[in-house]
Amino acid sequence: MTKILVIGANGQLGQSFQYWAPYFPNFKIFFEDLPEFNLLDRDQLVHYFKSTSINIVINCAAYTAVDLAEDQPEAAEQINTGAIDSLCQLSKSFGFKLIHFSTDYVFDGSAQTPYGEDDPLSPLGVYGKTKAAGEAVMQSAGIDGWIIRTSWLFSPYGKNFVKTIFSLLQNKDEIKVVADQTGSPTYALDLAAAILKALEHKPTFNGVKIYHYTNSGTTTWYGLALAIQQQINTHCKIHAVETAAYPTKAERPKYSVLSCEKIKKEFNLDIQAWELSLKDCLKKIG
């Protein structure tokens, strides 16, 4: 039986793996998070892997506060880059495969067609730069694993755009939402299921491979907010605004659509449209 460790188990992606675990009886899945499992505590990690035999580590832990990272670059670097280096060294020592999640923020958003896995990286802010550095560390570590880039993650768990807008629409008379950033929303439950299905394919791990996974279709944050409104009974008015009218510390990519053809073909995955996944998410929230 394949033994899988999910790190960052309490985040929205980690909780999505917890949701699916009972549906994959061929995997024995362990879930760990802070404070019992601290990616920055090397001794604690070594002790864990010495005492528990693990075949695959799925790292869902990350520093994802995009704007706060501009003020806390060291903290972002520790988790998004330094911790990946530790996991890579442990992978060498204990022989597990590493699956790590990255982001559309490794691109600058200047493209006009979907980004492929091999397109050059050009992150705009601290968050994107630390995630890109984490990718580079993993690619040069001489281990076997996957880097999965995703974008615009939402779920019934944790903090995310869909849950925030769902709440605002029911409690405000009007809200403003950015309409000039384009991307592909990704349902964390779909992403977690896709990874487990890919692992069921008995893939051959040979070096580090990069894959993109998002739900199919594209929209703007404004379009996503309108889609949420269509699913719930609310009289809140949604105003479309430009990014410039809603300044943030970290610059956002204007266009961050990721091409998912590689992962679809390699693992025969059928990726659902984001609108259908949004309906499922709102049912679970509501």
Q: What are the pLDDT digits (tens) for 199-250?
A: 999 788 999 999 999 999 999 999 999 999 999 989 999 999 999 998 899 9
- Please check whether residue 204 lies inside any domain of the structure: yes
Tokens 């709102």 locate to 282
CATH code for position 147: 3.40.50.720
Give residue 148's pLDDT band: very low, low, confident or very high (50, 70, 90).
very high
Q: What are the pLDDT digits (tens) for 162-189?
A: 999 999 999 999 999 999 999 999 999 9
Q: Which residues are catalytic?
A: 127
C-alpha distances (whole Å) from 55 to each of 6, 122, 145 are 11, 33, 11
- Please check whether residue 280 lies inside any domain of the structure: no
How far apart CA 79 and CA 131 sit, in angstroms, is: 9
The b/e string for 188-227 (b: 16+ C-beta within 10 A; e otherwise) is: bbbbbbbbbebbeeeeeeeebbbbbbbbebbbbbbbbbbb
Would the pLDDT of 278 be above 90?
yes
Count of domains for the chain? 1
- Please check whether residue 229 lies inside any domain of the structure: no
Range of the domain at 266: 2-152+185-216+258-272
Residues facing 99 on adjacent strands? 58, 146
The pLDDT of residue 203 is 82
The pLDDT of residue 204 is 86
- Please check whether residue 223 lies inside any domain of the structure: no
DSSP string, 5-37: EEESTTSHHHHHHHHHGGG-TTEEEEEE-TTTS
Q: What are the pLDDT digits (tens) for 83-124?
A: 999 999 999 999 999 999 999 999 999 999 999 999 999 999
The pLDDT of residue 83 is 97
- Please check whether residue 45 lies inside any domain of the structure: yes
- Please check whether residue 107 lies inside any domain of the structure: yes
Report residue 33 as tokens. Answer: 């998070």
- Please check whether residue 171 lies inside any domain of the structure: no
- Please check whether residue 224 lies inside any domain of the structure: no
Q: What's the average model confidence in pLDDT over 256-285?
A: 97
